Structure 1
Amino acid sequence: MHVTQAAIIECADELFYQQGFTHTSFAQIAAKVGISRGNFYHHFKTKDAILDAVIERRLEKTRHMLKAWEGKSNTPAQRVRCFIKILTTNWSSIRLYGCPVGTLSTELGKLDHPQRKHAGEVFTVFKDWLVHQFVAMGQQTLAEEHALHVLAFSQGTATLASTYRDKSFVDREIERMCQWLQSLEKSPAGSHSTKGDR
């Protein structure tokens, strides 16, 4: 990929996250990259084309992150904890802007944008990965339910973190989720239900 094109995608990704897709203009992206509008249009003709590239970048980064967690964590439960604790890892940005995946998916959903399903693929990548981890923990029967429970926790906590900007609340919620996960480790038969655990 051309260096300028990669820079445009990176800057657009950041602006879409901080300002929203709708409120980000070609001019703002071009100014942030430091190129002329003419040079900008040489790489991308429409904002939807940039959006598509941004989503692909996010998918690639997500898969890379999950692969890294696979490499550094010895057990599936440890890998799920990496996901749960991402709220702390990315606290500085989440408290200001929320979750990048959730905010973009919500905005595109409100617009009934044709690329809303493409944006939602990032959630699907996370869900499929989490299902795999729960199956490896012996939770075959409830693996998908557990995966969705973790995703719902992440999105709900990120939203409230952005609303109240209360780090202690986030820490408490993470601790509760880690305790729930530990209870699953002790019961690998898959008998736990997510209902009522919190």
Structure 2
Amino acid sequence: MGASETRQQIVDVADRLFYEHGFEATSFADIARDVGLSRGNFYYHFKTKDEILNAVIVQRVATTGAMLKTWEQDAVSPADRILSFVHILIANRTKIMTYGCPVGTLCNELAKLDHVAKDEAAGLFTLFRDWLARQFTGLGHDADADALALHLLMRSQGVAALATAFRDEQFIRREVADMEAWLRAQCPEASSLHSRQPA
């Protein structure tokens, strides 16, 4: 395995461990063990855990941006694109019930630690906020697009937090159905939304 592949594997493993166990609780040794590297080889790629965190955040931003671009390409209307965002609660329900929202948990932990990377992590929320605001603008909500985007972000984070606490899949599905109804009420175009939730 080449150096770039090894580095990518480290980032992928760190991303998973930060999500499953938290940034602070994950050590260099934990990451090196799961990657299968000696400490010396590990330090060749990353000198500090903060360097790994920065790489994880960069990767998450890129992955999120690609996902949003795919939603833009796959859905005809802004309302259907917004629905794609709502439905990630169901698509990722198993992980959310176990570990929480990957964006929310990282942002909350780094904020509590007053970590220097907290603003970069919060940039993931900004990506969603700006993208959702553009969709609401496309539905004719120029004046309140950002407020609607924040409201939907708030609801999705609240659902994720309670889903983690109660591990209740039916709660997630009920809340997603309610968000679909809210979207139809906010956006006349959304009345024709295909509201069937993903499996």
Cα distance in 2, alignment partners of residues 70 and 8 from structure 1: 31
Q: Residue in 1 aligned with 2:114?
A: 112
Q: The residue matched to 2:63 in structure 1 has which SS?
A: helix
Is residue 32 of structure 2 the alignment partner of residue 42 of structure 1? no
Give the counterpart of 1:131 among 127, 133, 138: 133
Shift of 1:187: 7.7
Cα distance in 2, alignment partners of residues 186 and 134 from structure 1: 11
Q: Residue in 1 aligned with 2:184?
A: 182
Q: Residue in 1 aligned with 2:123?
A: 121
Give the counterpart of 1:12 among 14, 20, 28: 14
Q: The residue matched to 1:45 in structure 2 has which SS?
A: coil
Equivalent residue letter for 1:61: T
Q: Note the alpha carbon deviations across 1:66-91, whole angstroms, 9 max, x for none.
A: 01111111100000000011010001
Unaligned runs of 5+ in 1: 189-198
Matches within 5 A, 1:139-154: 139-154=141-156
Q: Note the alpha carbon deviations across 1:80-124, whole angstroms, 9 max, x for none.
A: 000011010001100000000000000000100011000000000
Equivalent residue letter for 1:78: D
Q: The residue matched to 1:2 in structure 2 has which SS?
A: helix
Q: The residue matched to 1:94 in structure 2 has which SS?
A: helix
Cα distance in 2, alignment partners of residues 184 and 155 from structure 1: 20
Identity of aligned residues (%): 49
Normalising by structure 2, we get a TM-score of: 0.92
Query: Contact conserved, 2:79 with 2:189, CA < 8 A, in 1?
Result: no
Alpha-carbon RMSD? 1.2
Cα distance in 2, alignment partners of residues 187 and 22 from structure 1: 45
Q: Note the alpha carbon deviations across 1:141-195, whole angstroms, 9 max, x for none.
A: 110000000100111000000000111111111111101111122289xxxxxxx
Q: Residue in 2 aligned with 1:74?
A: 76
Q: Residue in 1 aligned with 2:159?
A: 157
Cα distance in 2, alignment partners of residues 8 and 57 from structure 1: 12
TM superposition outliers: structure 1 runs of 4+ over 3 Å: none
Q: The residue matched to 1:151 in structure 2 has which SS?
A: helix
Q: The residue matched to 2:24 in structure 1 has which SS?
A: coil
Unaligned runs of 5+ in 2: 191-199
